[in-house]
Amino acid sequence: MTADLFDDLPAQPSSEAIADGAVVLRQFASTQAEALLAAINRVNASAPLRHMQTPGGHTMSVAMSCCGELGWVTDARGYRYQSTDPHTGEPWPTMPDSFRELAGDAAQAAGYRDFRPDACLINRYEPGAKMGLHQDKDESDFDQPIVSVSLGLPQVFQFGGLKRSDRPVKIPLAHGDVVVWGGAARLRYHGVLTLKNGSHPLTGACRYNLTFRRAR
Ligand code: MD6
Ligand code: FE
C-alpha cells in the first residue's frame, strides 16, 4: 500500500565497494544522462562508431569510438593509444567538458583526487554484443584510476582477479551507474556478458559505456 508512493522516485545515489580500490557509484550519472547521450551523438557524428579488428583477426561485437587527446584502437598491428582516428585520419574529437567534469567528480567521490582523463573510449553494445575478460594495461601510469559510465540497457559486468583464471563476480550495471577503479584493483580482469534484448527510453536497444583513462 505504501510502496507505490515511492515508485516514481528516481533511484537514489549510493556507493558499493566491490574490491580494494574499486567502487560502484550507483546512479551517479543519472541526472546528466540525456546531456551525455547528446554529447556522445555529437562525437560520433565526426568519429563514427565502428567494429574494430583484434590483433588475432576477429571483429569485435562492440562498436567503438573515442574522444580526447588520445583514442584506444585495435587492428592487425595490436592494441594502442593514438592521437588520430584511423577511420578519418583526423584528430579524435575534443572531449566534452561535461565528460571531463563527470569523470573527475566520480573519481573524487571514489577517493581518487585530480583525475584528468586524456582519453575517453565510447563503447556501444547491441543485443548479442559482449566483451570478454581483459585487463586494461595499455596506459602508462597504473596509479591513475579508470572511470566507467553505463547508459541505456542494463548489462552484467564481470569483475575478476589479477589472473585470468580467477573466478569473476557478476555485477549488474544499470543506466546511470558509474564504476571507478584503481589502486590494487587497477589490473584486475573484467568484461561484460552478452547484452540481452530490450529497449531503453533514452537509447533504444543498446547500452553505451564510456571509459575514461589517463593514457599518458
Ligand atoms: C563495459 N568496461 O563496461 C566495459 N575497463 O562495457 C571496461 O572494459 C572497463 O568498465 C576498465 C575499467 C572500467 C571498465
Ligand atoms: Fe576494460
Could you tell me if the CB of 136 is within 6 A of ligand 1?
yes
120 CA from centroid of ligand 2 (Å): 12
Residues 52-97 have pLDDT tens digits of 999 999 999 999 999 999 999 999 999 999 999 999 999 999 999 9
Q: Give the nearest ligand 1 atom to 207 CA.
A: 6
Could you tell me if the CB of 139 is within 6 A of ligand 1?
no
4 CA from centroid of ligand 1 (Å): 35
136 CA from centroid of ligand 1 (Å): 8
133 has a pLDDT exceeding 70: yes
Whole-number percent of the chain with pLDDT over 90: 94
Residues 142-192 have pLDDT tens digits of 999 999 999 999 999 999 999 999 999 999 999 999 999 999 999 999 999
Q: How far apart are CA 99 and CA 84, in angstroms?
A: 19
Which residue ranges form the domains of the chain, and what is each CATH number? 15-213 (2.60.120.590)
1 has a pLDDT exceeding 50: no
**How sure is the predictor about 13, in pLDDT bands with cuts at 50, 70 and 90?**
confident
**How sure is the predictor about 123, in pLDDT bands with cuts at 50, 70 and 90?**
very high
Q: How far apart are CA 110 and CA 97, in angstroms?
A: 20
Its pTM stands at 0.94
Q: Give the nearest ligand 1 atom to 209 CA.
A: 6
Query: Nine-digit cell at 144?
Result: 591513475
Burial call 47-66: b when 16+ CB within 10 Å, e when fewer: bebbebeeeeeeebebbbbb
